[in-house]
Structure 1
Amino acid sequence: MTTLTDDVARLLSTYGSADADLAALLCDDHDPAAIAFTFIEGDLTARDLTYGELHELSARFATGLAEMGVGRGDRVGVLMSKRLELVVALLGLWRLGAVHVPLFTAFATPAIAMRVEAAQARVVITETDQREKLDSIEGITVIETGEGFDALVREHEPMAVSVAVGGDGVMIQLFTSGTTGKPKGVPVPVSALASFVAYMTYGLDVSEDDVFWNAADPGWAYGLYYAILGPMAMGRRSLMLHAGFTPALTVAVMQKFQVTNFAAAPTVYRSLSKDPSVGGITLRRASSAGEPLTPDVLVWSESALGVPVRDHYGQTEHGMVIVNAWHDAVREPLIPGSMGKPLPGFTAGVVEDQIGFEVAGSPLMWFTGYVDAPEKTAERFTEDGSWYLTGDAGRIENGSFFFSARNDDVIIMAGYRIGPFDVESVLVEHPSVMDVAVVGQPDDIRGEVIEAYVVLAEGVSGTPELESELQQLVKSNFAAHAYPRTVHFVDALPKTPSGKVQRFLLRRNRQPGSSARNSGQ
C-alpha cells in the first residue's frame, strides 16, 4: 500500500532528478491527443489545445527564439493575458532552458521596467494591447502577438531535443510584493513541481474526471503555479478565461463547460454570493486562496455551489502549504477561520511568533533564497537555518492553523498581493505630496482595499480633484488595480523615534469588518 511518505518521495524523484526535462514533464510525456487547455472568450466561444499541438507549436517557437540568441539561463519577460500564445511562449522558453519572468498585465510601465531590469531580461514577449507599456524600456527586444509571433512559429522547424536543466535548474523568476524595498526575485526550480503536484492532488483533489478551473491570473504565483504548471505536470485539462471577471460570466462558464473543480480568490466567491442571479451550479470541489475566507462565504457556498469553499494558505516562496485539504486521504472537517493543516511534505509550526516551516521536516520545500539579496534571505530563516519564517503571525489550536496578521504589511486585495512601498513610491513623486503611507483596510467584496494617508506640501489643500489626480498617478505609474480607493489628507504620519511609520495606528482608524469608502471604480 502506497503511503503519503512514499508519494512525496516519488514526486521528488520525478521532478528533482538531475536529468529532469521540463518540456517532457509538462507536455511531451503526456498523451498528445489529450486536451491541455481550453481557452474561453467572453462570448463563451472556445478553443481546445491538445498536448500534441502544444508540443508542435512550442517546439517551433523555441527554434525561433534560439535563432534570436535566447538560450539556457536567459531571463525572458512575458507580459500576456490568458491566451493560447501564453502557454506556447512559456513552453518554448522552457524547451531552451530559459527562465520565465512573469509580468502582470495590470502593471504600468515603471513596475514592468523594474522587473525587467532586475531580472536582466533582454527579450519580452507581449500582446498588442500591452505593447505600448514597453516602448520606453531600453535594451529589450519585443516579440508581439500577431504576425511577429506567428512567424516565429510558422517559419521554423520544431526543436528536436529540449534542454534538460535538471531539478535544480531555474524555470521561473517571480517577484514578491515589496514592502520596505523593491520586490524580491524568487527563483523557482523545476523541483518545485513536486510541491505543486502535491497541492493539486491533496489540496485541490483534481481528478482525471474533473473539469478544472483555477480563475487566478498567471501573472501571480497562484495562477502560474496551479492554473498552468500543476495541471500540465499532471496532464490535466485547465480552463483559461480570456475575459474580465463578472459573476454572470463566471456562472455561464461553469454551466457551459460543466466545471466540477473550481479555485479562486475569496473576492470571486464574495461577488458571486452577493449576486442574486447566481444559481444552477453544482461543484465537486471549491477552493480559495489569497486571503482568509469570511464565515458568510462558507454558509452561502454549501447551498449555492453544493460544497463548502475550503481555504488554503501559501506564499510565492513555496506555493500552498497549509490547507483544508479535499483529498480523501487527508480531508478533515472544516473549522471556521482555520487555514487547515500542513500539506503532505511539509512540517509547520509557530516560531518567533510567526508561522514557520521546518526545513528538515519539509522535503517539498524548494525556496532557498532570493536573487542577489542575502540579507533579505536571512530574514526568512531562523539564525540556525532550521526554520523558514513566513512573516505572518498565527496560532495553532488542536493541530489546525489560524492566520492572525501579516507582519510585513503586504496588502492582499482580491487575491493580489500589493506592497505598500510600490504604491507609496509613486504617490510621493507628486509635487504636492510631502509624505505618505499606504495601508489595507477591510472591504466586503475585495477582502482589503488600499487607503493612502498623505501629508501635503505647505500651502496645498486636499481636494477631491487632488485625490483623483493621485489615484490616476498610481494607475498610470504602477498598476491599474492598486490605486488607493480613499486618500486621507493628514497633518502628519504616526512614526517611531527611528522614523518608521506605524501603519497599525493608521489601520486602527477603521473598525474591523467595515467597508472603505469607494472613491472610484
Structure 2
Amino acid sequence: MEHLVFMPAGHHLPVGEFEMPAPVPTAEAVLGRYAASDACAAELLCDAHDPNATAFSIIEADLSSEHITYGQLRERSERGAAALAELGVGPGDTVATLMGKSADLVVMLLAIWRRGAVHVPLFTAFAWPAIELRLVASGAKVVITDADQREKIKNTTATIMVAGDQATAKDLALAPLLNAQQPGIPAEAVGGDGTLVMLFTSGTTGTPKGVLVPVRALAGFRQYIELGLDVREDDVFWNASDPGWAYGLYFGILGPLAAGRRTLLLHASFSPELSFAVLDLFKVTNFTAAPTVYRTMRAKSETMPKNLRLRRASSCGEPLTPEVVAWAEEVFGVPVRDHYGQTEHGMIIVNAWHDDVRKDVRPGSMGHPLPGWTCAVLKDGSDELAAVDEMGRVAVSVPESPMMWFTGYQDAPEKTAEHFTEDGRWYLTGDAGKTDADGYYYFSSRDDDLIIMAGYRIGPFDVESVLSTHPAVLESCVIGAPDELRGEVLEAFIVLKKGVTGTEQLVSELQNLVKTQYAAHAFPRRIHFVEDLPKTPSGKIQRYILRKQRASQ
C-alpha cells in the first residue's frame, strides 16, 4: 500500500513559492487500494490520513470560517455513524441529504459511509416532486436536511434528521443526536464493489435513472484531483460546484478526501463579488468551477481584487468560449483549462495540469484521456473508428479502461443497453465529437438532447412533464438555447388546448409551475406558443428541428 504524506495543518509556503508535485502512482497502483475486497470507505477517505491535517475549511457568507481536521472529522462522523446505527441504518441502506455546503454535510457523509450505507444526494434547488422521485426510487431510510430545506419534504416514510438542535414531534434534531453518542464505532468495509453513492441523472426520455457509484470509483476521482487538477499538498483548493451534483460531490468532497487534500466549501449563495473575496482572503491557488461562474466573474471584473494567487484554474460542464479563456489568462495570470466527464464516470478526457501529463492546450479541445482511460470516436451507425477530423460518437473502450466503474443504471436495463455496444466493447457517452491528428479530442454536441445550464444537466422530459400538468397545456417541447452567461437556458415550445390563448400571465404561471414542481433553476426563460410540434411518423417529437429553427432566426 502506498503512503500519503501531509503537511501539518495550517502549513503554508511563502507567497509565490510552491512545492514540486510528488510522483504520481500508476492507475493500476491507485486502483488496487480502492478495488480491494476489504476496501473501507471511512479508512480511505478519513482514518488513514494525518489527524492533524485540515480536511475542510467551511466559509460563511460573512467570510468567517471553520476548519475541520481529519481527526475532528473522524470523531464527529463516528458519533454520526453511531446515531445512524441507532436508527437501524446499516450496510447497503440508503440515506439522503438535502443540505448546503456545511460542516454538518461533510460529517454526515462520512457517517453514512462509515456505516457502509449509500448516500443519495438531493440538490437544494429541487422542489418536492423531484425530491420525492429520488426518495422513492432509492428507498431512502433516513433523510438529513437543513432547517431551511425542511418544508420541501412532504409525505415520506423516511426518518427525518434536521441540522441544528431543535427537535419536533416529527423530526429528530441532529446536534443532540450526535452529542449523545460516543465515538469509536467500527467502520464497515463494503469492498471495492460496494456502493458508495446513488446519484440520479436524467435523459430525454423516461424518469431520472440511478447511477450506483462504487468504492473503487474513488481511484478515478483521486487521479483527476492529482493529475487533471494538479492539487498539491500545499495548495488551497476550491471547487465551487454544488455537491448535489456529480462534479461537486466527486471532486469537491470525495476526490479531495481520497487524496488527503484540504478543500474549501462556501456555505453561501453564489455571487461573483463573494467569490472574488474568497479567492483573495483565503489565498486560493487551485480553483475549478462551471463556465457560468467564469462568465459571471468576467461581467463583474471591476470588483475583482488584484494580485490573486491562482496557479491553476479549471472548468467543467460545457466548452469555454475563447473570450472567457483570454480574459481569465489576463486577470488570473493562468489560463482556464477545459475538462470533460460524465456522472457515469467522473472525468475522463481533460486538459490535464500535472507536469507528468500536461500538454499544450489547443483552442476548442477538451484534451486527452486521463491515465486509466482509453477513448475513441466511432463512426455514426457503426463500431468502426472515425477518421481524423471526422465527426462521430465519443466512446470509452471498456476492456482498456481499468478506471471505468459504471456498469449500468439502477433497474433500467433498456437505458443501460443504449450506452453499450452489443458486444460490450464500447461505452457510448451520448456525445458527438472528433479527434485531430495528435489525438486531441473536440466536443461537438450532445446527441441525446440533454441541456447543460451553468454546468447543471437538465433532462427536457423532466420539465415537459411538469408543464403538461397545467390545464392549458396540450403538449410541450423543451430545448436548450445559447446564453452568454449560462451557456444554455431552457426554451419551451407549447401547444395550448383548444380555446386557450397564450398570454404573459400564462407564461408566468408556467415558469412558476416548473420552479415549484421541479427545480428553481430549471424554468424555461422563454416560452413560445405554437400550433404544433415537429414529429417523426411514430409521433416522437423532433427537438433537433426546433433547435435548427431557433439557430436560423
Using the size of structure 1 for normalisation, the TM-score is 0.96
- Between stretches 350-359 and 418-427, larger displacement belongs to 350-359
Q: 1:402 aligns with which of 442, 467, 491?
A: 442
Q: Is the 8 A contact 2:203 2:448 kept in 1?
A: no
Partners of 1:50 and 1:254 in 2: CA distance: 21
Partners of 1:428 and 1:390 in 2: CA distance: 29
Partners of 1:229 and 1:314 in 2: CA distance: 16
Q: 1:87 aligns with which of 86, 92, 106?
A: 106
Write the letter of the residue equivalent to 1:308: P
Q: 2:226 aligns with which of 177, 182, 201?
A: 201
Partners of 1:261 and 1:414 in 2: CA distance: 20
Partners of 2:26 and 2:458 in 1: CA distance: 35
Is it true that 1:330 corresponds to 2:348 in the alignment?
Answer: no
Partner of 1:318: 345
Q: 1:376-455 counterparts in 2 under 5 A?
A: 376-398=415-437, 399-455=439-495
Partner of 1:365: 404
Q: 1:158-307 counterparts in 2 under 5 A?
A: 158-277=183-302, 278-280=304-306, 281-307=308-334
- Between stretches 280-289 and 315-324, larger displacement belongs to 280-289
- Tell me, what secondary structure is at the counterpart of 2:225? helix
Q: 1:101 aligns with which of 120, 127, 142?
A: 120
Write the letter of the residue equivalent to 2:325: L
Partners of 1:137 and 1:59 in 2: CA distance: 30
- Tell me, what secondary structure is at the counterpart of 1:197? helix
Q: Which runs of 5 or more residues in structure 2 are unaligned? A: 1-21, 166-172, 381-391
Q: 1:504 aligns with which of 536, 540, 544?
A: 544
Partners of 1:449 and 1:211 in 2: CA distance: 32
Partners of 1:178 and 1:104 in 2: CA distance: 17
Partners of 2:30 and 2:472 in 1: CA distance: 55
Partner of 2:370: 343
Partners of 1:141 and 1:179 in 2: CA distance: 32
Partner of 1:517: none
- Tell me, what secondary structure is at the counterpart of 1:186? strand
Q: Is the 8 A contact 1:173 1:186 kept in 2?
A: yes
- Tell me, what secondary structure is at the counterpart of 2:435? strand
Q: Is the 8 A contact 2:451 2:459 kept in 1?
A: yes
- What is the alpha-carbon root mean square deviation over aligned residues? 1.4
Is it true that 1:19 corresponds to 2:38 in the alignment?
Answer: yes
Partners of 1:9 and 1:383 in 2: CA distance: 27
The CA deviation at 1:510 is 2.8
The CA deviation at 1:137 is 2.3
Partners of 2:509 and 2:90 in 1: CA distance: 44
Partners of 1:125 and 1:160 in 2: CA distance: 20
Partners of 2:25 and 2:59 in 1: CA distance: 38
Is it true that 1:120 corresponds to 2:145 in the alignment?
Answer: no
- Between stretches 152-161 and 47-56, larger displacement belongs to 152-161
Q: Is the 8 A contact 1:289 1:311 kept in 2?
A: yes
Partner of 1:73: 92
The CA deviation at 1:199 is 0.5
Q: Deviations over 1:341-388 (max 9, x none)?
A: 101110000124310000111000110111111111111111100111
- Tell me, what secondary structure is at the counterpart of 1:391? strand
Q: 1:35 aligns with which of 54, 76, 81?
A: 54
Q: Is the 8 A contact 1:211 1:261 kept in 2?
A: yes
Q: Deviations over 1:140-186 (max 9, x none)?
A: 11000011101121001114310001101001000112320101100
- Kindly, what percent of the aligned residue pairs are identical? 60
Partner of 2:164: 146
The CA deviation at 1:274 is 1.7
Q: Is the 8 A contact 2:318 2:487 kept in 1?
A: yes
- Tell me, what secondary structure is at the counterpart of 1:511? helix
- Tell me, what secondary structure is at the counterpart of 1:424? helix
Partners of 1:93 and 1:301 in 2: CA distance: 39
Partners of 1:370 and 1:408 in 2: CA distance: 16
The CA deviation at 1:197 is 0.6
Partners of 2:393 and 2:155 in 1: CA distance: 39
Partners of 1:267 and 1:282 in 2: CA distance: 21
Partners of 1:473 and 1:180 in 2: CA distance: 20
The CA deviation at 1:126 is 0.4
The CA deviation at 1:6 is 5.7
Q: Is the 8 A contact 1:5 1:345 kept in 2?
A: no
Partner of 2:520: 480
The CA deviation at 1:448 is 0.1
The CA deviation at 1:279 is 4.0
- Tell me, what secondary structure is at the counterpart of 1:56? helix
Q: 1:458-469 counterparts in 2 under 5 A?
A: 458-469=498-509
Using the size of structure 2 for normalisation, the TM-score is 0.91
Q: Following TM superposition, where does structure 1 have runs of at least 4 consecutive aligned residues deviating by more than 4 angstroms?
A: 3-6
Q: Deviations over 1:87-127 (max 9, x none)?
A: 11110011110000000000000000000100111211101
Cα 1:6/1:157, change in 2 over 3 Å:
closer
Write the letter of the residue equivalent to 2:285: T
Q: Which runs of 5 or more residues in structure 1 are unaligned? A: 515-521
Q: Is the 8 A contact 1:279 1:304 kept in 2?
A: no
The CA deviation at 1:275 is 1.5
Partners of 1:55 and 1:236 in 2: CA distance: 15
Write the letter of the residue equivalent to 1:117: V
The CA deviation at 1:282 is 3.5
Q: Is the 8 A contact 1:8 1:364 kept in 2?
A: yes
Partners of 1:43 and 1:249 in 2: CA distance: 9
Partners of 2:144 and 2:85 in 1: CA distance: 14
- Tell me, what secondary structure is at the counterpart of 2:479? strand
Length, aligned pairs only: 511
Q: Is the 8 A contact 2:394 2:429 kept in 1?
A: yes
Q: Is the 8 A contact 2:81 2:185 kept in 1?
A: no
The CA deviation at 1:4 is 9.3
Q: Is the 8 A contact 1:4 1:344 kept in 2?
A: no
The CA deviation at 1:508 is 2.0
The CA deviation at 1:5 is 9.9
Q: Is the 8 A contact 2:145 2:161 kept in 1?
A: yes
The CA deviation at 1:421 is 0.6
